[in-house]
Structure formats: structure tokens, C-alpha cells
Amino acid sequence: MAIENENYEMLTLDVIERTDKTVSVLGSEYAALRAGRANPHILDKILVDYYGTPTPINQVGNISVSEGRCLVIAPWDASMLKIIEKQLLVENIGITPSNDGKVIRLVFPVLTEERRRELVRQVKKLCEDAKVSVRNVRRDAMDTLKKMKNNKELSEDEHKSCEDEIEKMISKIVDKIDSMGAEKEKDVMSV
């Protein structure tokens, strides 16, 4: 049953926007999680001083994956080599950069079983945090629906069907979060 209520439509748009943002943040957190293979996304949040302006590393040079476990950073301006290397050491990403005068190499070590299990715990925590965030969105939406019913904006039947629709939306998002978590867990545990 489609509800013709402007406030309800605004509410569903808000729910969609907030849950999409949660899924997006979870995706970027998973992308930055190091899983034993070279992943340029671990550098996404690192800013270097580029002529007085904090700039992401991927905007001051090329970042490429070499041999599956090695990231190669080739700055367009050779004077940036020392600055990038220094910032990578300051950020403490767990990999020591090696500078050969032309490029910086980040060699990812093979993960131990213990480290893989630790990463799986991280994946599960991120997944649970995302689900908590989505549940908070659901709670806010249900509170809003209750207020709408109390203010006589929605009838009892409309209120029930709106709750059901919100519940279906949230269930789909939670399933998506679970599948993202399972996929990342599988990725981390694969040797």
C-alpha cells in the first residue's frame, strides 16, 4: 500500500540517505583495511604538504600495484619523494617505505594466521558498528512515525503499513551489511 503523505515520503528519503551513507562509510573502511595484498586505498586518508596545501597522496603522483604485494608511489614532482616518505612514517601504516630516489615502494608482508584473525575481528566490529548505526536510523524513523500517528497525520492502518515498509528497508540494508562483512572476512582469510 503506497502512503500518500508528504511527511512520510520525507522520512523514507531521510532513512535511505542515512543508511546509504552508513553502507558507503563501511565500504570505505573495508577498502582501507589491509588484507595482505597491496591496496592503494590504505593511502586514501593520508595527506602530504604539497606547496603549503594538505593534499591526498593520490593527487601528487601515480600509485600502482606491483607484484601483488607492493605499492609503488611515483610522484610527479621528484622533490615530493622525501615529503611523502616522511608522512608515511608519521602516519604509521605498519609498512616501512623504501625510497630509491625515483619512487617509493611499500612492500606488504604476508599476513600471519594471528594477524588474519585480528583483522577478522576488526571486520566484524566494523560490521556491527554499521548495523548499530542502521538500527539507530530505524529507531528514529519509528519514533517519527509514532509522533505522526499521535498528531493524527497517519491513521492506525497507515501507521502499521509505514512501519512495515521501514522495517523491510532496514532489513535489506542489514542483509547488505552482513554480506559485505562476509565477503571482506573471506578476503582476509584467503591466503
CA–CA gap between residue 9 and residue 3 (Å, rounded): 8
H helix intervals, the chain: 6-32, 80-91, 113-150, 156-189
Residues 138 and 44 in one domain: no
Domain count, the chain: 2
The pLDDT score that the predictor gives to residue 139 is 95
Q: Per the structure block, which three cell numbers stand in for 88?
A: 608515511
Q: What is the pLDDT of residues 150-159, one digit of tens each?
A: 988 888 888 8
The radius of gyration computed from the CA coordinates of the chain, to the nearest angstrom, equals 23
The pLDDT score that the predictor gives to residue 164 is 92
Q: Which H, E and C letters describe 31-84, residue by residue? A: HHCCCCCCCHHHHCCCEEEECCEEEEHHHCEEEEEECCCEEEEEECCCCHHHHH
> Higher confidence at residue 178 or residue 152?
178
What percentage of the chain carries pLDDT values higher than 90?
31
CA–CA gap between residue 68 and residue 73 (Å, rounded): 14
The pLDDT score that the predictor gives to residue 1 is 44
Q: How many residues does the chain have?
A: 191
Q: Which of 16, 46, 40, 42 is nearest to 29 (CA)?
A: 42
The pLDDT score that the predictor gives to residue 129 is 94
pLDDT tier at 126, thresholds 50, 70, 90: very high
Contacts 24+ apart (CB under 8 A), 44-52: 46/87, 46/88, 46/91, 46/93, 47/87, 48/80, 48/83, 48/84, 48/87, 49/83, 49/87, 50/80, 50/83
Residues 25 and 56 in one domain: no
Q: What is the pLDDT of residues 23-63, one digit of tens each?
A: 999 988 887 776 666 778 778 788 888 888 888 888 888 88
Cα distances from 33 to residues 39, 48, 116, 119, 181, in angstroms, run 9, 20, 11, 8, 12
Residues 101 and 142 in one domain: no
Residues 67 and 127 in one domain: no
Domain boundary among the residues 107, 124, 145 is at 107
Q: Which of 17, 8, 27 is nearest to 137 (CA)?
A: 17
Domain residue limits at 10 = 6-32+112-189
Indicate if the pLDDT at residue 2 is higher than 60: no
CATH code, domain carrying 157: 1.10.132.20
Q: What is the mean pLDDT of the chain?
A: 86
Residues 62 and 94 in one domain: yes
